[in-house]
Amino acid sequence: MLSRVNALVHVDDVPRIEAYRALVSGAVVNLDDQQCALYATMLHHTLWSPAKREWHGQGQDRLLEGLELLHRESAVVEELMQVFDEAHERIKHVSFPLAGSLADLPIRVHARYSRAEMLAGIRWADVDTGVAGQVAGVRFVPRIQADVFDVTWQKSERDYSPITMYRDYAISPTLLNWESQHAAHRDSQAVRRYVNHESAGTHVLIFARESKSWEFASARPFLFLGDARYISHSGERPVTFRWELQRPLPADFFTASEVLAG
């Protein structure tokens, strides 16, 4: 399990740091609380999903089983606690909670998340649902009535096929250019839902990262950009969208998009 410690070095918001510290340290936690259970699920998938393990329970019992196994690994617990102790110094951006019907989610705008954390945090994956292989960049999450996109500014031919080299980039700190999946056409159900999301009462949530790789062995985590609002669309397969963010991008992240987009 020591190899999984680096999968958490990106954690950069105080509520998550403290939640993970409590879970890892063996402190008494209330898994009947939705946010606590979601944090526990995010941690569970980060530590355990890469391994093929036979679990004896489901739901909350599986979360407790995973925590019990973790607590037996004293070296791993020590390393993780050091990571969380140092995490406060790595915080680069002020993060913000979501509001309204999404306020109970543990994900915070302008914090970074691994794909496993993202899928658990948006309630796409629960503790009994595997996250391995879930690499699609778009998904509709019925539980929270939200379309969730994850995008990578700089794509390499090694990691992406020609039809998935989408032109996704920031036009300004609040305006994004985003291309739909190639299979989506202007009259498809997904595209209609994107266009009409405000009148339909659904959300559009966007995660983005500079590139797939970074200095650690795990894939680069995504920065959560928060809620977005439809502005316009054009073209066909892919359909090009303009989205307006509720909160401006952090300056360094906008600059990275400008540089990588050329």
Which amino acid appears at position 216 of this protein?
A: F
pLDDT of residue 195: 97
Return all residues near 170 (Cβ < 8 A) that are at least 6 apart: 176, 177, 249, 253, 254, 257, 258, 261
Three state DSSP letters for 224-245: EEEEEEEEEEECCCCCEEEEEE
User: pLDDT band at 78, cuts 50/70/90?
Assistant: very high
Comparing 5-14, 140-149, 192-201, 205-214, the range with the smallest average pLDDT is 205-214
Token pair 């009947």 is found at 32
Between the CA atoms of 22, 23, 28 and 32, what dihedral angle is there, to the nearest 10 degrees?
120
| CB distance 204 to 147 below 8 Å | yes
34-74 per-position pLDDT tens digit:
999 999 999 999 998 766 677 888 999 999 999 999 999 99
DSSP H or E run through 85 = helix 74-90
- C-alpha 66/C-alpha 135 separation (Å) is 24
For the cut 90, the answer to whether the pLDDT of residue 153 exceeds it is: no
For the cut 60, the answer to whether the pLDDT of residue 163 exceeds it is: no
pLDDT of residue 132: 66
Is residue 19 left, alpha or beta, with left meaning phi > 0 and alpha meaning psi from -120 to 50?
Answer: alpha
What is the SS3 assignment for 191? helix
CATH architecture of 135-262: Roll (2.30)
92-136 per-position pLDDT tens digit:
999 999 999 999 999 999 999 999 999 999 999 999 887 766 667
pLDDT of residue 55: 85
Bond preceding residue 106 cis, omega within 30 of 0:
no
pTM: predicted TM-score of the whole model, two decimal places: 0.93
For the cut 60, the answer to whether the pLDDT of residue 160 exceeds it is: no
Helices 60-71/74-90 angle, 10° precision:
100
Average pLDDT, the chain: 90
For the cut 60, the answer to whether the pLDDT of residue 164 exceeds it is: no
Q: 231 or 51: which carries more pLDDT confidence? A: 231
For 3, the token pair is: 């190899």
Q: What is the DSSP letter of 93?
A: S
Return all residues near 191 (Cβ < 8 A) that are at least 6 apart: 180, 184, 185, 233, 239
Comparing 47-51, 78-82, 115-119, 150-154, the range with the smallest average pLDDT is 47-51
**How wide is the angle at C-alpha 173 spanned by C-alphas 169 and 176, nearest 5°?**
35
The share of the chain scoring above pLDDT 70, in percent, equals 90
- C-alpha 108/C-alpha 224 separation (Å) is 7
185-224 per-position pLDDT tens digit:
888 999 999 999 999 999 999 999 998 877 676 788 999 9
For the cut 60, the answer to whether the pLDDT of residue 262 exceeds it is: no
DSSP secondary structure string for all residues of 122-166: TTSS-TTS--TT---SEEEETTTTEEEEEEESS--TTTS-GGG--
Q: 182 or 157: which carries more pLDDT confidence? A: 182
3-state percent breakdown (helix, strand, coil) of the chain, nearest 5:
35, 20, 45
pLDDT of residue 214: 75
Q: Residues of CATH 2.30.280 domain(s) within the chain?
A: 135-262
Q: 219 or 233: which carries more pLDDT confidence? A: 233
pLDDT of residue 181: 83
